[in-house]
Amino acid sequence: MKIGMMSFAHMHAYSYADSLLKMPNVELVAIFDEDMERGQDAAQQFNSVHYSVQAEFLALDIDAVIICSENNRHKEMVINAAKAKKHILCEKPIATNLKDAQEMIDVCKEHEVIFQIAYPVRFSSPIRELKQMIDNGELGEIVAFRTTNRGQNPGGWFIDKEQSGGGAVLDHTVHMVDIMRWYLNEEVVEVKAFVDSYFHDIDIDDAGILTLEFENGVIASHDASWSRFAQYPTWGDVMIEVIGTKEIVRVDAFNEHIRFFSNAKKSLEHIFYGSDMDSGLVRDFVNCIEEGREPSVTGYDGLKSLEVALVAYESSEKAKTIKL
């Protein structure tokens, strides 16, 4: 299978490209990036060919693309790739507004290409094990969730609202809303949120607390932030606590680590040894294409998680609970 990468603006592009190189049935044919230096460096690193013109890249004989551009360019690249009959894995969030997200979904359907959203947390082993426990009824009836996704401020275009569409709340809410929707097979119907910038002198949010209610009455809290400082021993956390009538189970997707002490810049580091979520995501995408099936994470999944994050901003601005 021939796959191309579209933009290395998002840091996950490097992990996805590395995952492609580890797959014997996949060839990373080309890299498109309008940033010449970044694109050429990536092409050299991953033994590929760099293209700076999108039309020339999409004219190549490739089966699929992985898009890791700035958030506000997802729509453009997805639509162009779909029209070129390339299957698509797009970095989250799907878009910066719901209208664009729906148009992307519709165009991909019209041109009969697979459209998958990059939610690698679904491919964490402990997260999947907890999903199986819920499906088997081991936790009883689900009553509530408590989730966190707290990491470091990426800087750059992430803190430019025009390019990102939002700060930490957008960046770190969509992952956990996706997991909760996946666990419950229910939609969020009510959102109350407090959003602001608490940890950095920036013109975009770096933290938020959300309370959610699902259609079946399950309640949830979510703590999203860029609150981790540079010397913190790990990037952050992706935690979910599921409260059931039989059991309460807490999982942190990044908690499979050893503690490493040294005299280096960070005296303590957490060295991750667990399942490679990014590789699981990319393998699933490739398998979807080979099997001609719907992806595990659809464009609609991307739209519904985006909706909750955007409504959180509205709730905070209006200082009231918003019903979806």
Tens-place pLDDT, residues 105-153: 999 999 999 999 999 999 999 999 999 999 999 999 999 999 999 999 9
Q: List, for residues 179-236, the tens digit of each pLDDT value.
A: 999 999 999 999 999 999 999 999 999 999 999 999 999 999 999 999 998 877 677 7
What's the pLDDT at 263?
Answer: 78
Question: Token digits for 35?
Answer: 């940033």
Would you mind telling me the total number of residues written for the chain in this entry?
A: 324
pLDDT at 175 over 80: yes
pLDDT at 292 over 90: yes
| Backbone dihedral angles phi then psi of residue 260, each to the nearest 5 degrees | -120, 120
Is the CB of residue 172 less than 8 Å from the CB of residue 275? Answer: no
- All structural domains of the chain, each given as residue ranges with its CATH number in brackets, are 2-113 (3.40.50.720), 122-278+306-323 (3.30.360.10)
Alpha helices, DSSP H, located in the chain? 12-21, 36-45, 54-58, 74-83, 98-110, 125-135, 161-164, 168-184, 277-291, 299-318
- Cα separation, 202 vs 220, whole angstroms: 28
List, as one string, the DSSP characters of 83-110: HTT-EEEEESSS-SSHHHHHHHHHHHHH
pTM for the predicted model, two decimal places: 0.94
Nearest to 198 by CA among 219, 181, 223, 221: 223
**How far are the Cα atoms of 11, 12, 74, 119 from residue 154, in angstroms, in the given order?**
9, 12, 18, 18
Q: What is the mean pLDDT of residues 31-43?
A: 98
**Model confidence band, residue 257 (pLDDT cutoffs 50, 70, 90):** low
| Backbone dihedral angles phi then psi of residue 4, each to the nearest 5 degrees | -120, 155
